[in-house]
Each structure stands twice: as C-alpha cells, then as structure tokens.
Chains A and B, each alone.
Chain A
Amino acid sequence: GQQVMQIPQYQHVQEGEDFTTYCNSSTTLSNIQWYKQRPGGHPVFLIQLVKSGEVKKQKRLTFQFGEAKKNSSLHITATQTTDVGTYFCAGSHSGGSNYKLTFGKGTLLTVNP
C-alpha cells in the first residue's frame, strides 16, 4: 500500500538545539499535513502544505514541501521543553479521489532542560 516514511524515529536534544524530522513518499502527494501529539494526548493539527516547494513558518517551526511533492520536513529552531512530543506527517496521495490520509510513524522528540 501507499506509505509515508518518517525519520528519525527518535530524537533527543538539549534545550536550545535545533530539531528536524523528515517525511518521504514514493508517490506524489496532493497535500501534506503535520501534527503534534503530546505524551498521553491526541494528535493536534499544526499545518497543511499544498503547493510544490511551499515553505511556511510558525514562530520557531518551519515547514517545507518538496518540489516534487514527495517529501516534507519540519524544522524547530532553538527547541524548548514545551516542544516535547511526537511529530507526525500525514499525506494524501495524488491521483483520483483519495480520502485516505496516510500517517508516518512519527518522530518522538525529547528535550533535556
């Protein structure tokens, strides 16, 4: 089936260091979304990217969608302890009607104060 691969699986950083997680798909995505899940919580929407090469920023978070619409990244500058959680990407594959949003396995970020 269609998959979205996400790396790394885990990332531990010191507070103030940067963090990046990557998503890759073997097929073209019509859009990609990013979610954050705090420990014990539910996923919460962060952003959606639709256009090829799109870059969006939310304070210390920078999201990119690749030119070929097959990959995406989330970069956090100067991490804080409040950034702790699992970050998921989720994509809809192009071609025909597609209501299946496929999630990556997530990157668990821990931050040492």
Chain B
Amino acid sequence: NAGVTQTPKFQVLKTGQSMTLQCAQDMNHEYMSWYRQDPGMGLRLIHYSVGAGITDQGEVPNGYNVSRSTTEDFPLRLLSAAPSQTSVYFCASSSLGGRAVTGELFFGEGSRLTVL
C-alpha cells in the first residue's frame, strides 16, 4: 500500500527559484493538506483541500500556491523561493465526515527543502 507519496525527499533551491512539491494519495481521501514543520514550531497548516477543484488557506499560506485537479494529487508550488521557506514539508490526507476532518491524517514521509 503506497498511502501518501511525496516527491522529492530533498531539494536545495536558490532564492527566487520556483519549484513544485508533489503529493499523491491512493486511498480516495477527499481531504488533503500541506504542513510545514520548523524546529520548536510544530506543524503549521499551509493549504488544504476538501475535494477536486476546492482549496483553501491554512495558517501560513503566503508564498505558496496549490491546486486540486484530481482526487489523488495535491501539488504545492513555491513561485519565488525565499530562505524563510526552508523547512520540512508534509503532505497529509484524510477522510471527511460532514463538515469536519474526522479521520486520522495519513502523512507522507516529508520533503526537506533548503533555500539558499
């Protein structure tokens, strides 16, 4: 079972470069989300989606774009990378019940991004 797959696992960028972190899940989950994890800051929600064609902002959305064209995929785009975006990024998916996330979050293995 693949679960949630993130690529790449590691990436080094220069300031101003753009890139896309890929996330795919094979569990037919409606809910997908992106978190960033920084030392001492826990996991902070960047963007989330409750289904194809629907996305919304989390706590720290600035500098990031997302789209959800299919149920399976939820890519995260950095249009112009900045050193402050150096972090570990996690994609997570879950089932939905009514108007809340009621299932466990399944996390990908993470993508470690360094912006120089």
By a beta-carbon cutoff of 8 Å, the part of chain A in contact with chain B is: 1, 6, 9, 30-31, 33, 35, 41-45, 48, 88, 90, 92, 96-106
Contact = CB atoms under 8 A, between A and B. Distances in A.
B40 interface: yes
Given A42-B109, A99-B96, 15 more contacts: A6-B42, A31-B100, A33-B105, A43-B107, A90-B43, A92-B100, A92-B101, A99-B48, A99-B99, A99-B100, A99-B101, A101-B33, A101-B101, A103-B44, A105-B40
A103 B109 contact: no
Contacts of A106: 42
* Majority SS at the chain A contact face: strand
A48 B58 CA distance: 21
* Majority SS at the chain B contact face: strand
Nearest to B94: A101
B100 A43 contact: no
A110 to B, nearest CB: 16
Given A97-B99, A99-B31, A99-B56, A45 B40 contact: no
Interface of B: 31, 33, 35, 40-45, 48, 50, 56, 58-59, 90, 92, 96, 99-102, 104-110
Contacts of A48: 102, 104
A101 B105 contact: yes
Nearest to A6: B42
Contact of A43 (B50, B59, B105): B105
A44 B31 contact: no
B42 A100 contact: no
B102 A31 contact: yes
